[in-house]
Amino acid sequence: LMAADILLYQPHGVPVGDDQRQHVELTRDLAQRFNHRYGETFVVPTGFYPETGARIYDLQDPTSKMSKSAASPNGLINILEEPKKTAKKIKSAVTDDGTEVRYDREAKPGVSNLLTILSAVSGTPIPQLEEEFAGKMYGHLKVAVADAVVERLAPVRERALALLDDPAELDRILAAGAEKARAVATPVLEDVYAKVGFLPP
């Protein structure tokens, strides 16, 4: 399904997290096989993986990726959650017994995860963050991460809640988006049906 969603819209690049790498590779394989058999039809997309933040880990179990299906909701950052609740989760994140703020996925997965999140939302490279927090305690890092995440999510949350409070406007935006998507997808689907020998839908 992900491959179909990608190929139908002919993107050259697909921005995804590291855990979606296999899906992008499968999509590329399918596009190449179809093009080889039926002629040039699909753009073969490239995966774009961010240098920092391609994989974010659970705040309570920093050895597992952050997921809605995690054992505890306290390890998950929800975009629409109350800012105070988000900040509390981050400030309660699991770290380790040490005190040094440095990136080390094996020895310090919790601290490394917090550094990754802060780097991703602030745009500050991890080595620079390590310098900024040299000699400081984990509490300072957690407060900085909480503040940065809350600030970054604030406009997204505000806009989403405003749309949810205006169902008519939300329906209008969804309909306009669907129309744009249909305009791009229909010629591709018609081309695929013609090449494979299916009757048009």
What is residue 65's DSSP assignment?
B
> Tens-of-pLDDT digits for all 201 residues of the chain?
789 999 999 999 999 988 889 999 999 999 999 999 999 999 999 999 888 888 899 999 999 989 888 778 899 999 999 999 999 999 999 998 888 999 999 999 999 999 999 999 999 999 999 999 999 999 999 999 999 999 999 999 999 999 999 999 999 999 999 999 999 999 999 999 999 999 877
The number of C-alpha atoms within 13 Å of 65 and in the hemisphere containing its C-beta is 9
Residue 167: predicted pLDDT: 95
> What does the block give as tokens for 193?
């049906």
Question: Do residues 80 and 156 lie in contact, with contact meaning Cβ atoms separated by under 8 Å?
Answer: no
